[in-house]
Structure 1
Amino acid sequence: MLDDFLVRAAFAGLGVAIAAAPLGCFVVWRRMAYFGDATSHAAILGVALALAIDLPIFGGVLVIALLMALLLSLLTGRGVGSDALLGVLAHAALAFGLVAVSFLPNVRVDLLSYLVGDILAVSKGDLLIIWGGALAVLGLVAWRWSALLSSTLSPDMARASDVDPKREQLVLTLALAITVAVAIKVVGALLIAALLIIPAAAARPLARAPETMAVIAALIGAASALGGLLVSFALDTPTGPTIVSLAAVIFASTQTMRALQG
């Protein structure tokens, strides 16, 4: 069954969707959209590192994404406005990554596939990495769910309950880095943040509890991945951007529904 490239692509999209959904909820609640953007842009630098020292792409992207996320956590609130800092690091990481790739000798790199994804080229080995990473993210978020939620809603109340908000921030940082590493093959560095944020934002008007929002976000992400794959195949459009475009249409629909309901 897995010899069919469309079936492999579908499983890859589902794996990324279920990993991104609960994490995306925390990104939306904490208003960390630019944080996710900066971490995903650093993925191209991770590709260059992996190719330069002959590492698996997943390993290089994971290392750089984790370093970028940790750097952002350390520098935020230290004299530079967070928006300015995130903007500088996001675009600088992408620029340095593109420059670094151009210096690699005797290596031909299809940059477009890393920028916007190439889900149709997912292999069985890629599926193992994607689902292994997705399950790791789900396990990590499920394990720390209560602590993550309390530190998100009220850091002061979290401290009163012996929950360290900085530690929970590091948990989110690790989960975000893993998600970026597994998603780059599916939607690419430029669209990873969109797949994190849009399903969660679309789910927000439909949910009355945090757990419900995470489940609905996963369903929206899965529908976007599978629907975008089918639309892309039918219309011969780029698959990663089509997946994100469908998620954006669902977001617009839920926002319109909320507006009509008053």
Structure 2
Amino acid sequence: MVRATLAGIGVALAAAPLGCFVVWRRMAYFGDATAHASILGVALALTFDVSIFGGVMVTALLMAGTISILSGRGYAMDTLLGVLAHSALAFGLVAVSFLHGVRVDLMAYLFGDILAVTRTDLLIVWGGAVAVLALLGWRWSSLLTATLNPELARASGIAPQREQLALTIALAIVVAVAIKVVGVLLIAAMLLIPAATARTFANTPERMALLASGIGCLSVICGMFVSYDLDTPTGPSIVSVSTVLFLLASTLAASLRKRS
């Protein structure tokens, strides 16, 4: 339980501030497509007997690169992301079915198996979280400028494409470390819901990122208790708690607006 909680907190600390940029840039489908592609990465990693983390990381980066290339060729972004997300998931599931002599628990990869986290997994999760937070801290000002006003970023000598690449790398790392904790189908929720909840009360980007991190960690801790008490799946329980917090925050914000 302690290892599982620490792993969940590590994912939340990395995913929440990154999720703020996903919300600001309206990249929800982008995160979803990258997460779905990770199943194909799992299949390839098992086929070639390499690290699951490495396979998912490479596949997520390839998916992000494919999206960036095709989006500049006249394809509508929402259509492109929808096609690639579901195609990558389907090809990944088909590829897994061809693996012989390898036991694959698809439910663990789809919905997470946080209680099976080992000490090695914990080191990978926290190593990835530190790397993502370091990258965001290093590029924070440039990322924020490129997100809010690409023209101003170019005038200031900031290349929006470079900042997009930094976000892509950070997103790939989060997907790779989070797949065992919350699974492919719930990674996008961990990115979006805490950030969307924090947006209700934050009046600066920095405050939104900090609030999102706190909400993500609270969701993990409460979700672990709910899962333990009610004997429910841990990953979905964490996301369910996060959703309840979002609904409470939205209701509170609406009531405060009525009073004012």
Name the TM-score, length of structure 2 as normaliser: 0.98
Which residue identity lines up with residue 216 of structure 1 in the other structure? L
19, 27, 36: which one aligns with 2:31:
36
Instruction: Give the residue type in structure 1 aligned to 2:154.
Output: R
Matched, 1:141 2:136: yes
- Residue 181 of structure 2 aligns to a residue whose secondary structure is coil
For residue 49 of structure 1, the aligned residue among 26, 36, 44 is 44
Report the residue type matching 1:152 in the other structure: T
* Structure 1 CA distance for aligned equivalents of residues 129 and 138 of structure 2: 14
For residues 21-53 of structure 1, what are the alpha-carbon distances to aligned partners after superposition, in whole Å with 9 as ceiling and x for unaligned?
110000000000000000000010010011000
Moved beyond 3 Å, runs of 4+: none
Partner in structure 1 of residue 233 of structure 2: 238
Unaligned runs of at least 5 residues, structure 2: none
Q: Which amino acid in 1 is paired with 2:26?
A: R
Counterpart of 1:14, as a letter, is: I
Whether 2:147 is the aligned partner of 1:152: answer yes
Residue-by-residue CA offset, 1:3-35 (whole Å, 9 max, x unaligned): xxx000010000000000110000000000000
Shift of 1:192: 0.2
RMSD: 0.6
How many residues of Structure 1 are paired with residues of Structure 2 in the alignment?
Answer: 257
Partner of 2:177: 182
**Which of 108, 115, 131 in structure 1 is aligned with 2:110?**
115
1:105 aligns with 2:81: no
Give the TM-score normalised by structure 1. 0.97
**Partner deviation per Cα, 1:116-167 (whole Å, 9 max, x = no partner):** 0000000000000000000000000000000000000000000010000000
Taking the aligned partners of 1:75 and 1:226, their CA distance within structure 2 comes to: 40
Q: Calculate percent identity across the aligned residue pairs.
A: 67
Provide the C-alpha distance between the structure 2 equivalents of 1:231 and 1:196, rounded to a whole number of angstroms: 21
What residue in structure 2 maps to residue 259 of structure 1?
A: 254
* Partner Cα distance (1:69, 1:167) in 2: 13
Is 2:167 the counterpart of 1:172?
A: yes
Post-superposition offset of 1:77 = 3.9
Unaligned runs of 5+ residues in structure 1 are: 1-5
* Deviation (angstroms), 1:258: 1.4
Describe how 1:83-98 pairs up with structure 2 within 5 A: 83-98=78-93
C-alpha deviations, 1:51-102, integer Å up to 9, x for none?
Answer: 0001111111111011111111221242211110000000000000000000
